[in-house]
């Protein structure tokens, strides 16, 4: 059995040698080698490091390279030259000028709104009145309608104040009234004191030119303003009330600069107003 295996191996070796001998001239010619060692060296170089794949100047079929999403672009590339393309950003809103905007997590403006005319300072109001209301202040208008609709005026209109009684003090400029009294009521709006007073002199005595005190001190420029007065029961004379220099009281005198209280039983009515200091 051993003898047979040895004989078979020897046969294969002889066959291999015969094939190689027959192909050696062709292989050496193909490799450009003069002898077997040179051919083996050439075969070893090819198997280890030499590049035999070559390279292409361009792709047989050009390819499209593209991007989608927040920005889009595409180019056709075949490898023969560099390729560039402009990116187009995706639209997420409408172009325009807005007073306020909304952005997404990437910082892109996704929405905008214009609720305020530039003239009203970005208050969210379409008029000066609503602008003032949004700011929590009363807007000062420039025309009759705006003034009439202002918060201050509307509050005064809604607040129909009742008359308030005031204990005025009656005295005479000279002398003393034997029996006399005075009553007064007032209301205040926009810094103006409106008042009504009645002086009743039952017994005149030696008193002349009555004086009554005011509920509030008058503003200095108003001291020279005459306030209308009239005696209604005895002489029917008209007169005026003139405020004193301190603005705390006023004396009542006839239009001809005489005493309006001419006899017992005179009743004088005073109805007027003055600015409060």
Determine the pLDDT at residue 173: 95
Per-residue pLDDT, averaged over 2-9, amounts to 57
Q: Read off the tokens for 182.
A: 């005075």
Select from 217, 208, 211 the least CA-distant residue to 188. 217
* Percent of residues, the chain, with pLDDT higher than 90: 36
Element spanning 237, H or E: none
Q: Tens of pLDDT along 70-82?
A: 889 898 888 888 8
What is the reported pLDDT for 169? 97
The answer to whether residues 189 and 161 touch, using CB atoms and an 8 Å cutoff, is yes
- Return the pLDDT at 158: 66
Mean pLDDT of 177-185: 96
Encoding tokens for residue 83?
Answer: 């390729």
Return d(Cα 18, Cα 165) in angstroms, integer. 147
Dihedral angle over CA of 248, 253, 257, 262, nearest 10: -150
Mean pLDDT, the chain, integer: 79
Name, in order, each residue with C-beta under 8 angstroms of 172's C-beta and a sequence gap of 6 or more.
206, 207, 208, 209, 210, 211
DSSP state of 218: B
Domains belonging to the chain, first-starting first, are 118-158 (no CATH), 164-275 (2.60.90)
- Token reading at 115: 């609720």
Average pLDDT of the segment spanning 6-15: 66
């Amino acid at each position: 059995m051993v003898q047979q295996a040895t004989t078979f191996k020897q046969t294969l070796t002889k066959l291999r040698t015969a094939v190689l001998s027959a192909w050696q001239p062709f292989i050496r010619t193909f490799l450009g080698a003069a002898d077997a060692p040179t051919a083996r060296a050439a075969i070893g170089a090819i198997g280890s490091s030499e590049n035999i794949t070559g390279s292409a100047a361009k792709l047989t079929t050009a390819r499209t390279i593209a991007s989608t999403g927040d920005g889009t672009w595409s180019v056709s590339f075949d490898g023969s030259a560099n390729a560039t393309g402009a990116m187009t950003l995706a639209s997420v809103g409408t172009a325009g000028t807005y007073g306020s905007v909304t952005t997404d997590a990437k910082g892109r403006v996704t929405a905008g709104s214009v609720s305020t005319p530039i003239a009203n300072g970005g208050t969210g109001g379409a008029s000066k009145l609503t602008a003032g209301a949004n700011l929590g202040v009363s807007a000062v208008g420039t025309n009759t309608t705006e003034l009439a609709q202002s918060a201050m005026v509307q509050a005064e209109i809604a607040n129909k104040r009742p008359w308030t009684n005031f204990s005025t003090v009656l005295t005479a400029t000279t002398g003393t009234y034997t029996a006399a009294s005075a009553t007064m009521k007032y209301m205040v709006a926009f810094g103006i004191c409106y008042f009504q007073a009645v002086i009743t002199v039952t017994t005149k005595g030696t008193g002349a030119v009555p004086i009554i005190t005011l509920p509030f001190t008058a503003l200095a420029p108003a001291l020279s303003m005459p306030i209308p007065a009239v005696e209604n029961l005895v002489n029917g004379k008209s007169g005026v009330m003139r405020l004193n220099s301190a603005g705390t009281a006023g004396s009542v005198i006839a239009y001809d600069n005489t005493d309006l209280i001419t006899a017992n039983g005179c009743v004088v009515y005073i109805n007027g107003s003055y600015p409060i200091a």
